[in-house]
Amino acid sequence: MTKHQSPVVANPWSALRQFTDARIALGRAGVSLPTHAHLEFQLAHANARDAVHLALDADTLARNIDASIPQAGAPCMVLQSAAANRAQYLQRPDYGRRLSAESRARLLALSGSPHAGAQLEERPEDRPYDLALVVVDGLSALAIEQNALPFINALLPRLDQEDWKLAPVCVVSQGRVAVGDEVGQLLGAKLVVVLIGERPGLSSPDSMGLYMTWMPAVGLTDAARNCISNVRPAGTHYDEAAYKLHYLLSQARARSLSGVTLKDETVSADAQVSGSLHNFLVLPP
C-alpha cells in the first residue's frame, strides 16, 4: 500500500447511497467494516437507545400547544398511562394501553363533556366531538417534541375550512397507540388521531406515526386503525401527512368506518406534478 492509498476497498454500489439512508455499499477494510462506518453505526445505535429512554416534557409541550392553537378549545390536558415509570412501560406494554386511574377520573370529570365516561350507544350522533387529537410519547419522545406541534399546525388549517368540533388536545406520557381509544371514548369523540413516537430506527430516531380510529373504544385492535408513518422533515413531510390524514378523516366521517375497510387513495404531490399516476408494476402503453 502506498503512502496515500486508502485501506478501504470501495463498493461498486456506492453511487446508490445517495438514494437511501440505509447502510449499503459501506466498503470494507480487509474482511471488516471500515472504522468510520463502524463508528457511525455505534452512534446511530446510541441515538436510538437514547430516544427510547428520553422523557417527554409533557407540561411544556401542552403549554406550547395551547399557545399555538387556541382554537382547539379547552386547555390541553396532560395525562398518564397506567405505567408508573419508563422501566415499567417498556416491560409491560399492556400498561401503556390504558390510562392511570387518576387520568381516567380527570376525563370523567371534564366539564363541558356530559357524555364523558357514559356507556355510549354505538351511534356517532351520541358523541359531542368530531375529533380528538391525542399526543403520546410512545417509544420516541424526541419524535413528539420535534414533530407534533408542526404537524398539528399543518393539519388545523385544513380542518378550519370545514365544520369539525375538536375535543381538548390530550398529551399522554408512557403511552401506547391503544391509549388513544380510551381517551377518545371518554371524551366522546367520533374520531381519534394518535400522534406517537415510533420505535427508533438506526437512521430515524425522530419518526412520528399517526393512527386514526373511527368511534374509538377500549378493546379495538389495529385492524380498526389507519396509519401514516415516518412523519418528519426527512420522511413524510408535515404538509403531505396533513393532506393524507385530512382525506382519511373526511372519508371516515362520511362513511362511518376506518381501518382495513378504508383505503388511502390520495396521490402524492410529486405524482400530481409529474403526472405519474400509473401502477409502477404495469408498463405504460
Residue 277 domain-assigned?
no
Dmax (CA) of the chain: 80
> What residues contact 44, with CB distance under 8 A and at least 6 apart?
202, 203, 205
Q: Report the distance separating Cα 259 and Cα 146, nearest Å.
A: 27
Q: How many domains does the chain have?
A: 1
Q: Report the distance separating Cα 156 and Cα 68, nearest Å.
A: 11
Residue 209 domain-assigned?
yes
Residue 28 domain-assigned?
no
Q: Report the distance separating Cα 89 and Cα 82, nearest Å.
A: 8
Residue 135 domain-assigned?
yes
Given the C-alpha cell 401527512, which residue does it identify? 241
Residue 198 has what DSSP assignment? P
β-partners of residue 58 are none
| pLDDT (0 to 100) of residue 74 | 73
Residue 171 has what DSSP assignment? E
φ/ψ of residue 270, rounded to 5: -65, -40
Q: Which of 45, 6, 23 is nearest to 201 (CA)?
A: 45
Containing structural domain, residue 126: 52-263
CATH code where residue 73 lies: 3.40.50.11240
Q: Report the distance separating Cα 70 and Cα 168, nearest Å.
A: 10
Residue 189 domain-assigned?
yes
| pLDDT (0 to 100) of residue 270 | 55
C-alpha cell at 273: 406534478
Report the 10 Å Cβ neighbour count for 282.
7
C-alpha cell at 268: 402524492
Q: Report the distance separating Cα 71 and Cα 38, nearest Å.
A: 49
3-state secondary structure of 255: helix
Residue 37 domain-assigned?
no
pLDDT (tens, 9 = 90+) of the chain, 285 residues, equals: 555 567 888 878 878 777 877 777 777 887 788 888 778 878 877 877 877 778 899 999 999 999 887 654 578 999 999 999 999 999 999 999 999 999 999 999 874 455 444 554 568 888 999 999 999 999 999 999 999 999 999 999 999 989 999 999 999 999 999 999 999 999 999 999 999 999 887 778 899 999 999 999 999 999 999 999 999 998 999 999 999 999 999 999 999 999 999 998 887 655 554 555 555 455 554
Residue 100 domain-assigned?
yes
Which amino acid belongs to residue 12?
A: P
Residue 16 domain-assigned?
no
